[in-house]
Amino acid sequence: MSAQPFRALAREAAARYPARDRYGRHFAFGKLTGDPAFAYLLRERVIPPGASILDLGCGQGVLAALLTAEGFDGGKIRGIDLVARDVERARTAVPSAEFIHGDIRTTPFGTADVVVILDVLHYIDPPAQEDVLRRVREALSGGGLLLLRVGDANGSLRFRITVAVDRAVTALRGQGAGRLHCRPVAEWTRLLEALGFHVAARPMSEGTPFANVLLVARYDRRAPRENHE
């Protein structure tokens, strides 16, 4: 998919938010066009047609809006987010999808074919991260795909910029500036592999100064389980 058609699709997705909600529209368009992960997911057809999707930390539902604008069945999308106003925005933009106001640490996941977690897990502590990933595996009980984007905590300038911008945006959104729990990509990979995932790392910072990596993790329910449950 070329840049121009994707921008047109992003504009259509942003238009799903009410005209009176200027912030919601501008945020959606800026996020979709400024973050390379969304164009990558569409260009590479990472999400299979007809898959059921669980979006953890879905925010205002920009992924659901984009997929629905492209023709994906919104009824196959569920999202969970901690911020009530973002959940309401998501419900307005994609009424056919299901959006739940809740904490991913405690809200039931149900089942899905694809689980998406973009830039979320570093907000919760390591034991909670590991518990969420175990529950993701159970949600993919028939086998499936986890799309996990993380900042690579490798000590680089890119990573320091990633953390600084994250803190600034979080503060501007009135969500405080709590401690971040980041890991190197190698550590995330080991954790996922111990859970039975087959992991491929894809750099996902093109056009940005960040240290983001998308982990495309496939789970086969027939694979051996971890030994430390």
Considering the domain boundaries, does residue 75 fall inside one? yes
Q: In what order do the strands lie in the sheet with 144-151?
A: 98-101, 77-81, 53-56, 114-118, 144-151, 212-219, 197-203
Domain that holds residue 135: 3-219
Considering the domain boundaries, does residue 10 fall inside one? yes
Split at pLDDT 50, 70, 90, the class of 31 is very high
| pLDDT value at residue 175 | 61
Domain count within the chain: 1
User: Above 90 in pLDDT, residue 150?
Assistant: yes
Considering the domain boundaries, does residue 175 fall inside one? yes
pTM for this prediction: 0.92
| Strands 77-81, 197-203: pairing kind | unpaired
Which residue type occupies 209? Answer: P
46-62 burial, b for 16+ CB within 10 Å, e for fewer?
bbeeebbbbbbbbbbbb
| pLDDT value at residue 10 | 98
Q: What is the 3-state secondary structure (H, E, C) of 27-82?
A: HHHHHHHHCHHHHHHHHCCCCCCCCCEEEECCCCCHHHHHHHHHCCCHHHEEEEEC
User: Above 50 in pLDDT, residue 229?
Assistant: no
Residue that wins the pLDDT comparison between 214 and 177? 214
Tens-place pLDDT, residues 39-51: 999 999 999 999 9
For the chain, give the percent of residues with pLDDT over 70.
92
Considering the domain boundaries, does residue 88 fall inside one? yes
For the chain, give the percent of residues with pLDDT over 90.
83
User: Above 90 in pLDDT, residue 94?
Assistant: yes
Residue that wins the pLDDT comparison between 151 and 167? 151
Split at pLDDT 50, 70, 90, the class of 225 is low
| pLDDT value at residue 1 | 55
| pLDDT value at residue 73 | 92
Sign of CA dihedral 101, 104, 108, 112: positive
Q: Two tokens at 131?
A: 């518990």
Considering the domain boundaries, does residue 26 fall inside one? yes
Lowest-pLDDT range of 2-16, 49-63, 107-121, 140-154: 2-16
Considering the domain boundaries, does residue 229 fall inside one? no
Considering the domain boundaries, does residue 224 fall inside one? no
Split at pLDDT 50, 70, 90, the class of 4 is low
User: Above 90 in pLDDT, residue 138?
Assistant: yes
| pLDDT value at residue 168 | 79
Distance CA 225, CA 190 (A): 14
| pLDDT value at residue 167 | 83
Which residue type occupies 74? Answer: G
CATH number at residue 15: 3.40.50.150
Tens-place pLDDT, residues 164-205: 888 877 776 666 567 899 999 999 999 999 999 999 999 999
